[in-house]
Amino acid sequence: IDAYGVLNPAKLWRLVVLVMLVGAIAHVALRIVGNRWGLPLAGFFSGYVSSTAATLNSASTAKTDPTLTSPALAAALLANAASLSLFIPILLAMAPGYLQTIGIELAAAITVLILLSAFGMRHGNQVVTESPVAQKRMFRIQHALALVAIIAAVLFLTAALNRLLGPNWAVVLIMLTAGAELHAALVGFTELYNSGALPYAKWGLFGLLLASSVVKTVIAWVAGGRDFALRFAAAMATTLAVVAAVTLLD
């Protein structure tokens, strides 16, 4: 419906339904596991709603009770793994070809985050917690609409910058967006990929993760303190290193 041919109401509404569905599943899972299986798994399901909010919550938990630093770190890493797994249905809906392009790198990133979180998982089973996300309403149409509105804006601006100034400026916009909303930035990348204006598409996941990791590390430092932030930063740096290595080898 726009001059650049990127705003498809059917696809955008499909994303609204997808976001609501994933949020509902995460809500039910949080209600089930939040008080039984501990902080790490509650963090994992919180990541489907917002990995940034889950990272903030985990950092605050670690700062409030330093004895929970390991399970809180595991929760933050699992939240980011869950957020990355959401790339799969989004890409299936928007750009299946791009999922094939970054599929190995995406699987590697999720695997590394889960493995790194395992060190805290062994301490997390004894931690009784109720995620604040579980206290919210199951269906939040405002959240879904707001997210898709951001995605639509990123799609339009990406197409406009790509047409007027070239793909490099569009990538700059996407990287800035990734710091605040990872999935909106992902959809922006898919637009460049679909238009054939992204010759270095294989490095897209690495760039998105880098921008998101920097912002979340700052959040972890402010909310959780130096020790938590350094451990979180080390885990994310390890994930980035693995993604870069896989990208080079693939």
In contact, 94 and 187? CB cutoff 8 Å: yes
10 Å Cβ neighbour count for 245? 12
Tokens of 26: 């995460």
Q: What is the pTM of this model?
A: 0.74
Q: CA-CA distances (angstroms) from residue 140 to 10, 21, 48, 65, 197?
A: 20, 10, 13, 31, 35
Tokens of 30: 């949080």
Least confident of 66-70, 88-92, 146-150: 146-150
Tell me the per-residue pLDDT of 153-174, one tens digit each, with 9 for 90 and over. Answer: 766 776 676 666 666 677 777 7
DSSP 8-state secondary structure symbol assigned to residue 221: H
CA angle 117, 136, 18 (to 5 degrees): 75
Average pLDDT, the chain: 77
Containing 56, the helix (H) or strand (E) segment is helix 51-64
Q: Is the pLDDT of residue 208 over 90?
A: no
pLDDT score recorded for residue 136: 52
DSSP 8-state secondary structure symbol assigned to residue 15: H
Helix, strand, coil share (%) of the chain residues, nearest 5: 85, 0, 15
Query: Mean pLDDT across the stretch 95-102?
Result: 86
Q: Is the pLDDT of residue 42 over 90?
A: no
In contact, 15 and 151? CB cutoff 8 Å: yes
Confidence of residue 211 (pLDDT cuts 50, 70, 90): confident
Q: Is the pLDDT of residue 84 over 90?
A: yes
Q: Is the pLDDT of residue 80 over 90?
A: yes
Confidence of residue 62 (pLDDT cuts 50, 70, 90): confident
In contact, 58 and 72? CB cutoff 8 Å: yes
Tokens of 21: 């569905």
Query: Mean pLDDT across the stretch 124-146?
Result: 55
In sequence order, the 6+-apart residues with CB closer than 8 A to the CB of 191 are 6, 155, 158, 159, 162
Tokens of 71: 């399970």
Q: Is the pLDDT of residue 4 over 70?
A: no
Q: Does residue 129 sit in helix, strand or coil?
A: coil
Confidence of residue 124 (pLDDT cuts 50, 70, 90): very low
Query: Mean pLDDT across the stretch 97-112?
Result: 91
Query: Mean pLDDT across the stretch 175-200?
Result: 73
Confidence of residue 134 (pLDDT cuts 50, 70, 90): very low
Burial code (b: 16+ CB inside 10 Å, e: under 16) for 101-110 equals: bbebbbebbb
